[in-house]
Amino acid sequence: MTLTLRQRIRVSVLACLLFSLAVLTLAGWRLMQWRSNIDWMLRAQKAMTLLERIISNLEKAETAERGYLLTSRPSSLTEYERAVSDTSESLDSVPLIEAVFPSEHAGLEKIRDQVRGRLEYMTETVGLHRSGDIERARNHTMAPQARKAIDGIRAAADDVRRNCYAVLEQRSGEQRRITADAQWRLVSGFLLILLLLLLAWVRLDRSLHLHEVTEASLHKSESELRDKTALLENHNAEILRATQLKSEFLANMSHELRTPLNGITGFAEVLIDGLAGPVNTSQRDYLEEILGGSRHLLRLVEDVLDLSKVEAGKMTFRPELVDLEKSIQETIQMLAFMADPKRIQIISEIDADGKHAHLDPARFKQVLFNYLSNAVKFTPSDGKVFIRVIAEADTWFRLEVEDTGVGIAAEDQKGLFKEFHQLDTSVGKQFQGAGLGLALTKRIVEAQGGRVGLLSQVGVGSTFFALLPRGRADLRTPVRSLTGAV
């Protein structure tokens, strides 16, 4: 019986499918065994890692204990307590190791008991030291039984580790055999499939015409896509131009507004100081209102001008060696008119290794002023504001401003560093501002390669931070980070 072309194509495709199915079924069965072995080996590696973590955490605890006994520093005690906690937590992973290596139950139980005994012994030693019996505590930790305990733990761990590696090597051999068998099945099967596909391709030669038609259609679609892409690029260029024009307009308007505002501020100060003649109490109050309003408008205009400079890429930085402690005190004095009436105490804490930096002093004061003015503004009377400078590694320092104010809800923190963003709560509406200070602070810090952020809790307070470069190479002294990796 003579088959038509369509029937031959169908028979060829069906034969290829059936043969492929048979090959894949045989190979798949072996691959399932291979995967099961891989899963076990991964769990075995994880179990070995957990065992190593127990010993590593215990050694860290011993090192921290000796450091505390020798130095009596609170930081060493904190490190010791953290290492003891980590060791105790890692002991909870012993059942996971036993699940992979059930034959090592006895050895693992022995390690767990010995580690717990060692932790109790160290706790007793630290307790002696904390109670004031330092000499006895040091003799206690240098006692022979202390060394025997850790040597015994290491020996037990070595025995368990050796047995586990033996089991792992055995399973690895099985894995290699399964892999070789699966590879042989797959290679042989796919060679035969390739032969069948080659025969079928001869029957499918007539489908090339359809392929050519499809390819022409694709070329047409590609051409249309290029045209649309070019159109989008033109639109993007127009948007960028409009943004640039907006920034230039804001800069020009800011300059035009600042001149008359400076005149208003200056003449108000002259009148208040009595240089143009005496003024009575009511007139002084009115003049102070004018002066306060003009200064507020002037700050807003300067913020808009700086913001437009950042957007246009025209903000310049003039770095120099800056005494951070002096700059902080000068900024605190600038805000005394806000803090003193509310009896707010401003406390500065500067890391000994972070007192100097090579950066633009005016921009640093601007960042600190924005953070500090917000902190004073939202802190109730008789509150406290903390300014901290913390060295980060050897090339950065972290500026933190913490207040005891109203705090900020989590849903209000998302857009806090955006332009013209203000809190929507009734508490936020009580305070004056246009929402430019934090946005400008973010742009200034990021323009120097840093970053900003905050931590806040409603009713407790907020901590705003800025990560800034320390600058010149001769200021880069090796410093242990006090706040963690950034």
CA distances from 374 to 332, 391, 401, 440 (A): 13, 24, 10, 13
Asked if residue 401 has pLDDT above 80, the reply is: yes
- Determine the Cα–Cα distance for residues 154 and 115; give it in Å rounded to an integer: 10
Give the burial string for 299-308 (b: 16+ CB within 10 Å, else e). Answer: bbbbbbbbbb
CA distances from 476 to 51, 192, 356, 469 (A): 39, 67, 10, 10
Q: What is the pLDDT of residue 314?
A: 63
Residue 436 three-state SS:
coil
Tens digit of each residue's pLDDT (9 = 90 or more) over 410-448: 888 777 877 655 555 444 444 454 467 788 888 889 888
Rounded to 5 degrees, what angle do the CA atoms 320, 324, 327 make? Answer: 90
Q: What are phi and psi of 334, to 5 degrees?
A: -65, -30
Enumerate domains of the chain plus CATH numbers: 5-203 (1.20.1330), 228-311 (1.10.287), 320-475 (3.30.565.10)
317 DSSP 8-state letter: -
Q: What is the pLDDT of residue 321?
A: 92
Asked if residue 478 has pLDDT above 50, the reply is: no
DSSP 379-426: SPTT-EEEEEEEEETTTEEEEEEEE-S----HHHHTTTTSTT----ST
479 DSSP 8-state letter: -
Taking alpha carbons only, the member of 290, 298, 366 closest to residue 335 is 366
Whether 104 and 163 have beta carbons less than 8 Å apart is answered as yes
* 294's tokens: 């003009």
Q: What is the pLDDT of residue 484?
A: 35
Q: How confident is the model at residue 463 (pLDDT cuts 50, 70, 90)?
A: very high
**Mean pLDDT of the chain, nearest integer:** 78
Taking alpha carbons only, the member of 90, 86, 109, 84 closest to residue 50 is 90
Tens digit of each residue's pLDDT (9 = 90 or more) over 301-317: 766 666 666 666 666 78
Tens digit of each residue's pLDDT (9 = 90 or more) over 7-27: 666 776 777 777 777 777 776
Asked if residue 141 has pLDDT above 90, the reply is: no
Q: What is the mean pLDDT of residues 460-472?
A: 87
Whether 468 and 364 have beta carbons less than 8 Å apart is answered as yes
E strands, 150-255, are none
Residue 350 three-state SS:
strand
CA distances from 126 to 139, 142, 198, 259, 405 (A): 12, 13, 78, 68, 39
Q: What is the pLDDT of residue 103?
A: 82
Taking alpha carbons only, the member of 306, 411, 416 closest to residue 367 is 306
Q: What is the pLDDT of residue 306?
A: 65
- Determine the Cα–Cα distance for residues 130 and 89; give it in Å rounded to an integer: 24
Give the burial string for 151-188 (b: 16+ CB within 10 Å, else e). Answer: ebbeebbeebbeebeeebeeeeeebeebbeebeebbee
Q: What is the pLDDT of residue 467?
A: 92
Q: How confident is the model at residue 328 (pLDDT cuts 50, 70, 90)?
A: very high
Tens digit of each residue's pLDDT (9 = 90 or more) over 174-184: 777 777 776 77
Give the burial string for 267-296 (b: 16+ CB within 10 Å, else e). Answer: bbeebbeeeeeeeeeeeeeebeebbeebee
Q: Which range, of 154-168, 255-269, 316-330, averages the lowest pLDDT?
A: 255-269
CA atoms within 13 A on the CB side of 293: 8
* 484's tokens: 């963690």
Q: Which range, of 161-165, 166-170, 320-324, 430-434, averages the lowest pLDDT?
A: 430-434
User: Across the strands, what pairs with 388?
Assistant: 349, 400
Q: What is the mean pLDDT of residues 66-84?
A: 83
Residue 458 three-state SS:
coil
User: CA end-to-end span of the chain, whole Å?
Assistant: 78
Asked if residue 386 has pLDDT above 90, the reply is: yes
Q: Do the bridges between strand 451-457 and strand 356-359 make them parallel or antiparallel, or are there none, so unpaired?
A: unpaired
Q: What is the pLDDT of residue 383?
A: 92
- Determine the Cα–Cα distance for residues 93 and 47; give it in Å rounded to an integer: 8
**Identity (one letter) of the amino acid at 478?**
P
Greatest CA separation for the chain: 124
Whether 405 and 383 have beta carbons less than 8 Å apart is answered as yes
Q: What is the pLDDT of residue 206?
A: 67
Q: What is the pLDDT of residue 146?
A: 67
Top pLDDT among 462 and 153 is at: 462
- Determine the Cα–Cα distance for residues 291 and 65; give it in Å rounded to an integer: 62
Q: How confident is the model at residue 344 (pLDDT cuts 50, 70, 90)?
A: very high
Prediction pTM value: 0.43
- Give the percent of the chain with pLDDT over 70: 79
Asked if residue 262 has pLDDT above 50, the reply is: yes
**Identity (one letter) of the amino acid at 403?**
D
Q: What is the pLDDT of residue 423?
A: 57
Q: What is the mean pLDDT of residues 445-453?
A: 89
Q: What are phi and psi of 358, to 5 degrees?
A: -105, 95
Whether 12 and 199 have beta carbons less than 8 Å apart is answered as yes
Top pLDDT among 441 and 276 is at: 441
